[in-house]
């Protein structure tokens, strides 16, 4: 819908007809807010909805709700959609096609059961289904969340806030594998502090059912009783329809695009085809490698770029550095750039520096501790990545570090950054500057 809105700003209804197909019940909503709605921090589901279909219709954009596109005919230049409410088939011709099908939750075969109570968390419809399940009688008492990434951690907190007994299962050695293990351990402590049982190094073998609903999660260590199971195993690009239509995908499984979000195949650009959002792959600005990083921030920017270009303007999408933030109770977690593992995989030689500091002047009420970790290239000192784990007012400092990564600053250059200071907001030496000083020392020592 970002693409549709931007195209409409540049070309009027008489010049460009815009039709969008949506198989769900909602348009333009915050999927990132679903765990907070389920956990009660956001009381009203409608608060997550940015624009209703009627608002798009007023702008001259036709939205066909509850229509699932089941085929794309590139030769005849038309899409074929199934009406999920009334049945029947609809064919819609096109001159230009924007493929923005998003991503779908990873759902192993063992998770496909003949019974209810197993949920992914990808759409507002998914959130509504979870809410309905939690409100049914008898009320669920035990939840098992499978996967310790952003969604898994957020949903585990949501479940315990709803009064359920919660177990979080993660197959790797730590939750939040998008940060380094030393930082992930802090997250594990916070999750356990909420009363959530965390089991790492655990692989799920299957699910058990009783009376038409999930009853347990089977692991090598035994079965865990469960009245609801939430899958937080990550997502994959939703490109099945594209592949069936002969549209090529990249090495990450997402559609390949050029800088203007035009789909690119082995023989060059696919005429009249654009793609944006969680269904595309992009380039990491530091490693230079193709990556699939499904975040709403990227999706909205890519949609905007596609719409501007489709409408006759000019815009480019420059790539990503993987900046992300979340919270577990009052613990904030953030990252940008490359982790140690990612830096090593890209071929960098690097040093690391970690410092503990406070969010405010130590004597000012409300000061809280935070841990900042920087990863810098050994020879040049270029900042490759950063991570933050801390309490209130910690995580948003990742934004200044993201700007440094984006612009390929060295940690030595960062030591002179003119950051703001007042006791209610920062120590006289902001934690970012202290970390940069320590990283600079590590770079000099490694030469």
Residue showing tokens 């990132």: 32
pLDDT at position 85: 94
DSSP letters for 217-240: EEETTEEEE-SEEEE-S-EEE--H
> Is 376 in contact with 384 (CB distance < 8 Å)?
yes
What pLDDT is recorded for position 425?
93
Rounded-to-integer distance, Cα 148 and Cα 165, Å: 16
Instruction: Tell me: pLDDT of 299 over 90.
Output: yes
Q: What is the pLDDT of residue 269?
A: 86
What pLDDT, on the 0 to 100 scale, is given for residue 114? 84
Q: What is the mean pLDDT of the chain?
A: 94
The pLDDT of residue 267 is above 90? no
Average pLDDT over every residue of 394-414:
97
- Give the alpha-carbon dihedral of 172, 177, 181, 182, to 10 degrees: -140
Domains plus CATH for the chain? 2-24+66-104+236-310 (3.50.50.60), 107-233 (3.50.50.60), 324-446 (3.50.50.60)
Strands 282-283 and 290-291: antiparallel
> pLDDT-derived band of residue 83, with 50, 70 and 90 as boundaries?
very high
Supply the DSSP symbol for 86: T
Predicted pLDDT at 340: 97
With bands split at pLDDT 50, 70 and 90, how would you rate the model's confidence at 392?
confident
pLDDT at position 277: 97
With cut-offs at 50, 70 and 90, classify the pLDDT of residue 381. Answer: very high
- pLDDT tier, 300 (very low <50, low <70, confident <90, very high otherwise): very high
pLDDT score, position 5: 97
Read off the pLDDT of each residue in 285-297 and give the average, rounded to a whole number. Answer: 95
Cα separation, 218 vs 209, whole angstroms: 11
In the structure, what pLDDT confidence band is assigned to residue 393 with cuts at 50, 70 and 90?
A: confident
Q: Is-contact 229 146, C-beta < 8 A?
A: yes
Residue 32 bears catalytic tag: yes
- What are the C-alpha distances in Å from 424 to residues 256, 302, 355? 46, 37, 20
Q: 257-264 contacts: CB < 8 A, separation 24 or more?
A: 257/282, 257/317, 259/316, 259/317, 259/318, 260/305, 260/306, 260/309, 260/314, 260/315, 260/316, 260/317, 261/302, 261/305, 261/306, 261/309, 261/317, 262/309, 263/99
Structure-block tokens of residue 198: 């965390």
Residue 48 is predicted with a pLDDT of: 95
The radius of gyration computed from the CA coordinates of the chain, to the nearest angstrom, equals: 23
User: Considering the chain, what percentage of its residues have pLDDT values greater than 90?
Assistant: 89
Structure tokens belonging to residue 223: 């079965």
Can you tell me the distance from the alpha carbon of 303 to that of 320, in angstroms, rounded to the nearest whole number?
A: 15
How many angstroms separate the Cα of 61 from the Cα of each of 18, 25, 70, 198?
5, 17, 21, 47
- State the pLDDT at residue 159: 96
What's the rounded Cα separation, in Å, for the pair 318 and 260? 9
Angle, in degrees to the nearest 10, between helices 150-161 and 181-193: 10
State the average pLDDT over residues 347-351.
Answer: 98
Q: What does the pLDDT look like over 136-163, one tens digit per residue?
A: 888 999 999 999 999 999 999 999 999 9
Backbone angles phi, psi at 287, to 5 degrees: -80, -25
Cis peptide bond N-terminal to 400, omega within 30: no
Higher-scoring residue by pLDDT: 115, 121: 121
Structure tokens at 265: 């195949």
- Grade residue 317 by pLDDT with cuts at 50, 70 and 90: very high
Query: Worst-scoring range by mean pLDDT, 173-182, 262-271, 305-314, 419-428?
Result: 262-271
202: its two tokens: 């655990």
Nearest to 117 by CA among 226, 37, 206, 198: 226
The number of C-alpha atoms within 13 Å of 413 and in the hemisphere containing its C-beta is 13
Burial of 398 (0-12, 13-18, 19+ CB in 10 A): buried
- What number of CA atoms fall less than 13 Å from residue 108's CA on the CB side? 14
Whole-angstrom Cα distance, residue 208 to residue 191? Answer: 26
Residue showing tokens 């999927």:
31
Q: What is the pLDDT of residue 138?
A: 87
Is it the case that residue 330 has pLDDT exceeding 90?
no
pLDDT bin (cut points 50, 70, 90) of residue 382 is very high
Q: Is residue 130 pLDDT above 90, yes or no?
A: yes
Question: Three-state DSSP class for 349?
Answer: coil
Q: What is the mean pLDDT of residues 295-319?
A: 97
Residue 415: closest CA among 370, 381, 387: 381
Give the per-residue pLDDT at 247: 86
State how far the Cα of 291 lies from the Cα of 320, in Å rounded to an integer: 9
pLDDT at 266: 78
Would you say 161 and 196 are in contact if contact means Cβ atoms under 8 Å apart?
A: no
Nearest to 280 by CA among 235, 247, 237, 318: 237
What's the rounded mean pLDDT across residues 171-184?
A: 92
For residue 379, pLDDT over 90 is answered with yes
Confidence of residue 358 (pLDDT cuts 50, 70, 90): very high
What values do phi and psi take at 68, rounded to 5?
-100, 120
Q: Is it the case that residue 98 has pLDDT exceeding 90?
A: yes
The band of 241, judged by pLDDT with boundaries at 50, 70 and 90, is very high
């Amino acid at each position: 819908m970002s693409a549709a809105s931007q195209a409409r700003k540049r070309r009027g209804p008489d010049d460009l007809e815009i039709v969008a197909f949506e198989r769900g019940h909602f348009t333009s909503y915050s999927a990132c807010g679903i765990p907070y709605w389920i956990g009660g921090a956001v009381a009203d589901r409608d608060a997550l909805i940015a624009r209703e279909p009627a608002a798009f219709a007023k702008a001259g954009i036709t939205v066909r709700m509850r229509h699932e596109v089941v085929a794309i005919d590139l030769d005849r230049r038309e899409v074929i959609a199934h009406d999920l409410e009334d049945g029947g088939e609809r064919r819609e011709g096109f001159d230009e096609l924007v493929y923005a099908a998003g991503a779908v939750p990873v759902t192993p075969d063992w998770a496909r059961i003949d019974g209810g109570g197993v949920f992914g968390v990808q759409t507002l419809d998914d959130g509504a289904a979870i809410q309905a399940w939690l409100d049914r009688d008898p009320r669920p008492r035990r939840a098992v969340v499978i996967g310790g990434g952003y969604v898994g951690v957020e949903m585990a907190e949501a479940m315990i806030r709803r009064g359920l007994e919660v177990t979080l299962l993660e197959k790797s050695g730590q939750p939040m594998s998008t940060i380094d293990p030393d930082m992930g351990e802090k997250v594990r402590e916070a999750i356990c502090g909420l009363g959530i049982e965390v089991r790492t190094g655990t692989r799920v073998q299957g699910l058990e059912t009783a009376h038409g609903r999930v009853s347990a999660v089977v692991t090598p260590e035994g079965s865990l009783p469960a009245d609801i199971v939430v899958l937080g195993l990550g997502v994959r690009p939703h490109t099945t329809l594209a592949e069936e239509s002969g549209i090529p995908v990249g090495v990450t499984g997402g559609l390949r695009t050029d800088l203007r979000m035009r789909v690119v195949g082995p023989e060059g650009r696919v005429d009249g085809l654009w793609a944006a959002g969680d269904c595309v792959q992009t380039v990491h600005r530091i490693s230079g490698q193709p990556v699939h990083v499904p975040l709403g921030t990227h999706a909205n920017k890519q949609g905007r770029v596609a719409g501007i270009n489709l409408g006759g303007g000019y815009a480019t999408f420059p790539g990503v550095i993987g900046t992300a933030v979340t919270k577990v109770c009052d613990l904030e977690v953030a990252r940008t750039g490359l982790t140690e593992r990612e830096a090593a995989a890209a071929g960098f030689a690097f040093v690391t520096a970690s410092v503990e500091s406070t969010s405010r002047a130590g004597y000012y009420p409300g000061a809280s501790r935070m841990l900042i970790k920087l990863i810098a290239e050994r020879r040049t000192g270029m900042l490759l990545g950063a991570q933050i784990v801390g309490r209130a007012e910690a995580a948003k400092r990742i934004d200044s570090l993201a700007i440094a990564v984006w612009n390929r600053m060295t940690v030595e250059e960062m030591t002179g950054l003119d950051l703001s200071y007042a006791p209610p907001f920062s120590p006289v030496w902001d934690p970012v500057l202290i970390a940069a000083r320590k990283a600079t020392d590590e770079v000099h020592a490694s030469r």
